[in-house]
């Protein structure tokens, strides 16, 4: 694959109707799956960022461990890929195999025997990660429990109660102009300007779907102008817009997620300080 400055060879890129939706990298069994994240995914995002604008999700594996996540998720948010126990599923209770080979020892009495097994922690992990992604309060508590930097994050309610300051800003919408009742690129430019400002200072948090008077507006207006018209579609659009405006490397310093607060869905964008100056491009470039 050829970028503007570099060429890279990915292990697998899955195209759907000509659009690269899935990116996969694989390592040898004696290497950790995280090496695919550190050595391959991170490099490709920097050198051929245009590949990841329409990307849906990323799969990383070393054969025995597989992780899946969204394009710009940090490693900690990659979840386990669900794997079925092939040996257990190809044999029936009577010992016969779906492949027609030799039967294994039948269950006692010829009847199926239910065996209690411990819960599959990989499925539990998937559920927990999804909750953490959607619930900022839970994410803050988990980070605090494990001593992660995110533990210092304020909850959405704390941010709203504190009102806007140098590190907190509210935007009613990101695409829809409530006054003119139409999609307006000036709304997008305002979001880019805020994120770029946080990147160039000490970081901060942007709440989209909260008005300047701290009222809960929600994301329904913006959902109507993204595809699909839901939280995933909005975050994908926002990520692509930020990559175009500030570049793929600075975007790795941001984390956008949908949070349900007061029966409304809003988007929380946490931004860390960038290692260098960042210029945000508006619609005119």
The reply to whether 142 falls in a domain is no
Residue 68: half-sphere exposure toward Cβ, Cα within 13 Å: 13
d(C-alpha 237, C-alpha 56), whole Å: 11
The reply to whether 59 falls in a domain is yes
Kindly state the greatest CA–CA separation across the chain: 76
Determine how β-strand 204-208 pairs with β-strand 168-171.
Answer: parallel
Read off φ and ψ for residue 171, nearest 5 degrees: -130, 130
Domain final residue, candidates 66, 81, 96 = 81
The reply to whether 120 falls in a domain is no
The reply to whether 104 falls in a domain is no
Q: Are 73 and 180 contained in the same domain?
A: no
d(C-alpha 247, C-alpha 240), whole Å: 10
Domain final residue, candidates 59, 81, 103 = 81
Q: Are 55 and 164 contained in the same domain?
A: no
The reply to whether 123 falls in a domain is no
Please, what's the b/e burial string for 105-140 (b: 16 or more CB within 10 A of its CB; e: otherwise)?
eeeeeeeeeeeeeeeeeeeeebeebeebbebbeebb
CB of 260 closer than 8 Å to CB of 135: yes
The reply to whether 38 falls in a domain is yes
Measured CA angle at 189 (ends 182, 50), to 5 deg: 105
Q: Are 70 and 164 contained in the same domain?
A: no
Q: Are 76 and 163 contained in the same domain?
A: no
Q: What is the CA radius of gyration of the chain?
A: 23
Q: Are 166 and 76 contained in the same domain?
A: no
d(C-alpha 68, C-alpha 71), whole Å: 10
The reply to whether 198 falls in a domain is yes
**Global pTM exceeds 0.85:** no
CB of 47 closer than 8 Å to CB of 6: yes
End-to-end CA distance of the chain: 26
Domain final residue, candidates 81, 103, 122 = 81
CATH number of residue 192's parent domain: 3.30.950.30
The reply to whether 259 falls in a domain is yes
Please, what's the b/e burial string for 234-265 (b: 16 or more CB within 10 A of its CB; e: otherwise)?
bbbbbbbbbbbbbbbbbbbbbbbbbbebeeeb
Q: Are 181 and 262 contained in the same domain?
A: yes
**Domain count for the chain:** 2
Q: Domain range spanning residue 215?
A: 154-271
Nearby residues of 284 by Cβ (< 8 Å), 6 or more positions away: none
Q: What does the pLDDT profile of the chain (285 residues) look like in tens digits?
A: 676 667 778 888 888 888 888 888 988 878 888 888 888 888 887 787 877 777 778 888 887 788 888 878 888 888 887 544 444 444 454 555 444 544 444 444 444 444 445 555 555 556 666 666 556 566 666 665 655 444 456 789 989 998 888 889 999 999 999 999 999 999 999 999 999 999 999 889 999 999 999 999 999 999 999 999 999 999 999 999 999 999 988 898 898 999 999 999 999 999 988 878 998 887 765
Q: Are 158 and 67 contained in the same domain?
A: no
């Amino acid at each position: 694959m050829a970028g503007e400055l570099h060429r890279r060879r990915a292990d697998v890129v899955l195209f759907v109707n000509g659009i690269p939706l899935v990116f996969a990298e694989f390592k040898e069994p004696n290497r950790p799956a995280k090496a695919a994240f550190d050595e391959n995914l991170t490099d490709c995002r920097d050198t051929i960022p245009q590949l990841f604008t329409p990307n849906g999700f990323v799969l990383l594996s070393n054969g025995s461990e597989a992780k899946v996540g969204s394009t710009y998720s940090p490693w900690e948010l990659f979840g386990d890929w669900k794997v079925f126990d092939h040996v257990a599923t190809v044999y029936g209770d009577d010992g016969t195999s779906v492949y027609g080979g030799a039967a294994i020892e039948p269950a006692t009495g010829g009847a199926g025997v239910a065996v209690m097994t411990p819960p599959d922690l990989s499925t539990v992990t998937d559920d927990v990660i999804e909750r953490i992604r959607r619930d900022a309060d839970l994410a803050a508590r988990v980070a605090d429990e494990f001593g992660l930097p995110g533990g210092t994050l304020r909850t959405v309610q704390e941010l709203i109660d504190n009102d806007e300051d140098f590190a907190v800003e509210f935007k009613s919408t990101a695409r829809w102009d409530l006054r003119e009742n139409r999609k307006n690129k000036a709304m997008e430019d305002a979001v880019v300007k805020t994120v770029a400002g946080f990147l160039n200072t000490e970081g901060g948090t942007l709440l989209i779907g909260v008005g300047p008077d701290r009222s809960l507006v929600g994301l329904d207006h913006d959902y109507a102008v993204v595809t699909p018209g839901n939280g995933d579609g909005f975050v994908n659009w926002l990520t692509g817009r930020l990559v175009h405006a500030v570049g793929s490397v600075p975007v790795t310093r941001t984390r956008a997620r949908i949070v349900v607060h007061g029966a409304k869905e809003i988007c929380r964008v946490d931004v860390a300080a960038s290692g260098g100056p960042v210029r945000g491009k508006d619609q005119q470039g």
